[in-house]
Structure 1
Amino acid sequence: MSVAFGGASRPVDACACADLARAQHWGCRFARKHLHVATIALVVTLGIVLRVWGVLVDRSLWSDESALIRNILTRSFAGLLLPLEDDQSAPLAWLWAQKVLSGLIPDFEFALRLLPLASGVVALIVFAWFCVRFLRRTDALFAITALALLPTYLLYAGEVKQYMTDLLFSAILTLFTFQALEGKQWRWHQALALAFTGVIAILFSNPAVFVLGGVGSALFLHSLNERRHRDAIVIAGIALLWLAVFAALYVLVYGRQPDAVAAMRGYWQHLFAPVPPLNVKDVFWYYKALLAPAESALYYGRIYQPGQVAGSALACLVFLLGACSLARRQPLQAVALLLPLVLALLASALKAYPFGSRFLMFAAPQILVCIAVGVSQLLRMPDLPRPVTAAVPILLLAMPLGVTALEYARADGKPFETADNHSAMQTLAANYRPGDTIYVYSECLPDFRLQRERYGLADAKVLAGHHAPDALAYFYYDIERMRQHRRVWLLYCTHMKRDNNQVYLNSMELLLKSYGTQKHVSGDLKRNWSVTLYEFDAEKTSPNPVMFAKPDYSYAPSHPILNLRNDEN
């Protein structure tokens, strides 16, 4: 072989050409590896920034948050052992940690969002480390992008709920398990670390017991397969410790809350498995349960996403493909990833744990890994057209990523805020006069009860509104209740679909104007809030005494937080 230089040519050693080709090959691999690492670092950084942004913008609380926060702020540590008001529930250690934070930082909303934020950030970092360590590059990038940027995880990283802590411990335990399955022999410090992490997980996360079931089973089977019977005995002992801690917690705390359990079973009855399935509806439940893991991992949120049904079906197929691939190639890893979902489904059949919605967020690491592996399997199928397989990950992520982009591009700068309760309360406090009465629409009640003292409304006369969609007759009765007072402020905030807002307010306005005069109106229905002042003429009689009379049936709202209190009448 010869190479020309400036018109002349000279022979080149074949070994030198081989060395050059080898150097180029390794240089390309080195460049691709560093590009992959840089891309993942960028995605993780963006995910952290978006999570921090979601907390710093100080979006308004929504009903469930307010109800739970009120329990945390008004109770002692011992009081948090008792059933919570408004049928709220959360792990004991999580409640105590939030109680400590609320005492350290004066702004309780910011303080109580720190734990979910920290859990979300650390969970993302741990999961990214897991994916880089154990998955192929394309699989890792898909899974990390989903956890970092999808709206579900961004939403709950800034919400005063325990779901991010569930996800954090699930990610930590999954990482620990995969590392242990690679090891040749257990050491005492590994056993102690596993035992301690499992105990802490049980205290901070109710569904952690499902994850630990998968962890313990996988490690126990691995020890037997490797004929390390001593390690198997150690793992069995650790599992017994976990069961003892969970049993003690159940007997001392959770088992003493029958009313909360009954309320949970009533409100979430559609997420409990019908056993045995007796009709077509029951059989269809299991079809929806098949879709539930993939749907909860990619599409769940309080924001409906167009095409969600079709996307969930596609995600389910990819999830099943990935699960089967893992079960065939790495059966013990598949046990660690899939057994928690099986245990959660069994708990659902026992009416002990809802299967679906945000209750499956604890299994997001396991589900996303299976979906990522399924995507990888599709991309390597030679019989399918390359454009078709390449479109699958785009189709799975495009819609939820679009929702994320729209939420963070909102004009008010508050992603995922469903109702601007802060503006409503500020407007009411600025215009309220001593002696006025405040009619609080039902969905505002939890936040109003929490915030009224903060805004100087602790001594105000309050009329708690009935939830109109649950009892239309009580809607008319509320008009009659308001008419008995001279000056009444109508405080309206809602998490309903925005199309319903104007209908409700127009109906209320039409009826109230027959009694009195509308004096002051403030609000923004696009942000789901309104504050209106009415002055009533006591001499005007009811146009229809029968319609506006108190209904002869009891008020039973669809959610316990909408119940009225004795001092709100």
Structure 2
Amino acid sequence: MFVPGRRWTYLALLPLLAGALARLWHWGHDRPLWLDEQMIAINVRDGGGFRGLAGPLLHHQSAPLGWLWAERAALLAFGDGERVLRAQPLLFSLATLVLVWLVVRTWFGPAGAVTAALLFGFAPSLVQYAAEAKQYSADAFCALALLALAARAVTRPRWTPAWWLAAAAAAWLSMDAILLTPGLAAVLVGAVWRRDGWRAAARAAYFAPVWLAAAGTHYLVALRYTTGEPHLRPWWQRRGGFPDGSLASWLAHRPAGLAADPLHLPEGPATAGFWLLVLAGLAVLLARRTALGLLLAAPLATAAVLGAAHAVPLAGRLAIWLLPPLFLAAAAAVEALASATARARVPATAGLAVLATGLALVPQIRYAAQPPRLADGVDDRAGMAWLEAEHRPGDLVLVSVSSIPAVRWYSSMDRLRPGRFVRPVPPGPACSPGDLPDALAGRRRVLAYSGTLTNPATPAVLQARLAEQGRIVERRAFHDGVGWLVDLHPPASPAPTLPRLKTSCLQLSAFGWR
């Protein structure tokens, strides 16, 4: 499977360069931070400095400590703008494309190289997280780097110490790298043992304590505070990350779930074709280059076991570390097809396979070329600017629960306090009808804001309850976010009828600043 670079292999540079431009375009668009980014950014800016980032994180967040420290260093050096916070993810994503080129020009001929470049260059998840202040681009880079170095170490044992050192460094930049390393190490040491005997295998494992020390120290210093968040387990279970019933049924549905996210493949033949390529590529590699096939299969097996054990979700962005082995396996299948057709003197077949791959990726290419969209459909930056501009002494500020991070990140806490956060709930013990009138007592005006729609009923319920207390002077839309300015002096008007909402009562709570 390892072939020397050929002149036509340089065609792979075209989709890689296009993918790099798409990432720069999305990063330069400077869209406002969305909810998850805000919660990470608050920790980086307000979480107690470098030492504070090693403890429990605000808003139940989790991220590798090395990655958080790099974000903190960038913020101190260049300020807390959106582009600064997203610079590290961008650099990791661009480095991934460079590494893809170094890998494919060594592993594949033109057909496999171009296929891999198309997949890595335009994968929506890789483009998206290159321009978000989240750690997932580092996960993809570390997964690819460890795979590439392990493949090199299998054939050149002198690279084994470098692989262990890289795994130790990756353990501080990516939690997924910690999960990935044991399976790759087992394949690496096993391949050396099979070829050169147990003494050589022992030498290959000699630097394993370096990785164990790095991963163990990271866990003791920081990760023990951020793993196993109980409130996230049901969330991921509802989205297919964990089995909810039959394990066999869950495993059978994982290809479709992963195709939807993080692969973002169009439904139909494209999805089926991709998984056929992956299976064919793994089969070819296991037959021809067994160690390489096992290296690509190991992360998939690890992810399935961890997901089945309810330890790490096998779905969505937390499965992004599986993209490198999946993409490389698919490229290996196209490369095998190219080799077979070349021997049969039907070279056009390989070109057709690459063309079919490119056509299947048309939606992904279109996504990369379009202006970036707001991740959750809300412009909290504009919403908070409006709140600041409209705020007067004595106003009460009400915000939805999901908007608390936006207030903390984009606004002045001292200026907007005192405030309340609100959530719609069914009428009953959780809600007292007098909460809102009591909170408004002595106030002249109310400023309210509903951002990310974690509960779709929030805007309608909030508007209806506010209309009972006064006159809505202004209603301002910030894409899917909504702001209201309410004058409490005019007599309250009859409340608008709520359109078939199961939740029609507001629960008010004081701000919790963690």
Shorter-chain TM-score above 0.5: yes
Deviation at 1:542, TM superposition (A): 8.8
Q: Write the distance in 2 (CA, Å) between the matches of 1:377 and 1:397.
A: 20
1:121 to 67, 85, 94: 94
1:219 to 178, 183, 188: 188
Deviation at 1:461, TM superposition (A): 2.9
Secondary structure at 1:237 match in 2: coil
Secondary structure at 2:49 match in 1: coil
In the alignment, what sits opposite 1:43?
15
Secondary structure at 2:196 match in 1: coil
Unaligned runs of 5+ in 1: 1-31, 300-304, 545-550, 556-562
The aligned runs of 1:412-423 (5 Å cut-off) are: 418-423=377-382
Letter in 1 for 2:38: S
Letter in 1 for 2:253: K
Letter in 1 for 2:360: L
In the alignment, what sits opposite 2:480?
528
Deviation at 1:206, TM superposition (A): 0.9
Quickly say closer, same or farther: Cα 1:422–1:566, change in 2 above 3 A: closer
Q: Write the distance in 1 (CA, Å) between the matches of 2:292 and 2:300.
A: 14
1:54 to 17, 23, 26: 26
Deviation at 1:325, TM superposition (A): 1.9
1:263 to 231, 236, 254: 231
Quickly say closer, same or farther: Cα 1:472–1:83, change in 2 above 3 A: farther
Unaligned runs of 5+ in 2: 497-502
Deviation at 1:163, TM superposition (A): 0.8
Q: Write the distance in 1 (CA, Å) between the matches of 2:431 and 2:271.
A: 38
Letter in 2 for 1:360: A
Deviation at 1:133, TM superposition (A): 1.4
Tell me, yes or no, if the aligned pair for 1:273 and 1:345 is still in contact at 8 Å: no
Deviation at 1:149, TM superposition (A): 1.9
Quickly say closer, same or farther: Cα 1:294–1:334, change in 2 above 3 A: farther
Tell me, yes or no, if the aligned pair for 2:445 and 2:487 is still in contact at 8 Å: yes
Deviation at 1:121, TM superposition (A): 0.7
Quickly say closer, same or farther: Cα 1:286–1:191, change in 2 above 3 A: closer
Deviation at 1:147, TM superposition (A): 1.4
Deviation at 1:205, TM superposition (A): 1.0
Secondary structure at 2:128 match in 1: helix
- 1:341-392 CA distance string (max 9 Å, x none): 2112222233321112111111221110112223455676899x96996774
Quickly say closer, same or farther: Cα 1:481–1:451, change in 2 above 3 A: farther
Matched, 1:513 2:461: no
Quickly say closer, same or farther: Cα 1:357–1:43, change in 2 above 3 A: same
- The normalised TM-score by structure 1 is 0.76
Tell me, yes or no, if the aligned pair for 1:101 and 1:111 is still in contact at 8 Å: yes
Q: Write the distance in 2 (CA, Å) between the matches of 1:318 and 1:158.
A: 29
Secondary structure at 2:84 match in 1: helix
Quickly say closer, same or farther: Cα 1:320–1:297, change in 2 above 3 A: farther
The aligned runs of 1:271-286 (5 Å cut-off) are: 271=240, 273-274=242-243, 279=246, 282-286=247-251
RMSD of aligned alpha carbons: 3.6
Letter in 1 for 2:452: T
Letter in 2 for 1:203: W
Q: Write the distance in 2 (CA, Å) between the matches of 1:543 and 1:194.
A: 66
Matched, 1:352 2:352: no
Letter in 2 for 1:63: L
Quickly say closer, same or farther: Cα 1:204–1:388, change in 2 above 3 A: closer
In the alignment, what sits opposite 2:331?
372
Secondary structure at 1:519 match in 2: strand
Secondary structure at 1:433 match in 2: coil
Matched, 1:68 2:40: yes
2:420 to 454, 458, 463: 463
In the alignment, what sits opposite 2:56?
83
Deviation at 1:417, TM superposition (A): 6.7
Quickly say closer, same or farther: Cα 1:131–1:564, change in 2 above 3 A: farther
- 1:195-224 CA distance string (max 9 Å, x none): 221110111111112332243223212322
Secondary structure at 1:530 match in 2: strand
The aligned runs of 1:112-511 (5 Å cut-off) are: 112-183=85-156, 186-187=157-158, 190-227=159-196, 229-256=198-225, 260-270=228-238, 271=240, 273-274=242-243, 279=246, 282-296=247-261, 298-299=263-264, 307-308=266-267, 311-376=270-335, 392-394=356-358, 396-405=360-369, 407-408=370-371, 418-453=377-412, 458-466=415-423, 468=424, 480=437, 484=441, 485-494=443-452, 505=459, 508-511=462-465
Tell me, yes or no, if the aligned pair for 1:214 and 1:338 is still in contact at 8 Å: no
In the alignment, what sits opposite 2:500?
none
- 1:260-298 CA distance string (max 9 Å, x none): 532333432345554xx964xx43211122445555453
Deviation at 1:493, TM superposition (A): 2.3
Q: Write the distance in 2 (CA, Å) between the matches of 1:60 and 1:224.
A: 52
In the alignment, what sits opposite 1:20?
none
Letter in 2 for 1:404: A
Tell me, yes or no, if the aligned pair for 1:491 and 1:531 is still in contact at 8 Å: yes
Quickly say closer, same or farther: Cα 1:439–1:308, change in 2 above 3 A: farther
Tell me, yes or no, if the aligned pair for 2:470 and 2:491 is still in contact at 8 Å: no
Tell me, yes or no, if the aligned pair for 1:297 and 1:361 is still in contact at 8 Å: yes
Tell me, yes or no, if the aligned pair for 1:146 and 1:298 is still in contact at 8 Å: no
Letter in 1 for 2:233: R
Secondary structure at 1:261 match in 2: coil
Quickly say closer, same or farther: Cα 1:221–1:268, change in 2 above 3 A: same
Q: Write the distance in 2 (CA, Å) between the matches of 1:471 and 1:155.
A: 36
Q: Write the distance in 1 (CA, Å) between the matches of 2:241 and 2:374.
A: 31
In the alignment, what sits opposite 1:104?
77
- The normalised TM-score by structure 2 is 0.83
Tell me, yes or no, if the aligned pair for 2:154 and 2:188 is still in contact at 8 Å: yes
Deviation at 1:472, TM superposition (A): 7.5
Letter in 2 for 1:97: A
Quickly say closer, same or farther: Cα 1:476–1:523, change in 2 above 3 A: farther
Q: Write the distance in 2 (CA, Å) between the matches of 1:511 and 1:554.
A: 8
Letter in 2 for 1:339: A
Tell me, yes or no, if the aligned pair for 1:482 and 1:488 is still in contact at 8 Å: no
Quickly say closer, same or farther: Cα 1:449–1:290, change in 2 above 3 A: same
Q: Write the distance in 2 (CA, Å) between the matches of 1:127 and 1:510.
A: 54
Secondary structure at 1:123 match in 2: helix
Q: Write the distance in 2 (CA, Å) between the matches of 1:472 and 1:64.
A: 30
Tell me, yes or no, if the aligned pair for 2:60 and 2:226 is still in contact at 8 Å: no
Quickly say closer, same or farther: Cα 1:308–1:389, change in 2 above 3 A: same
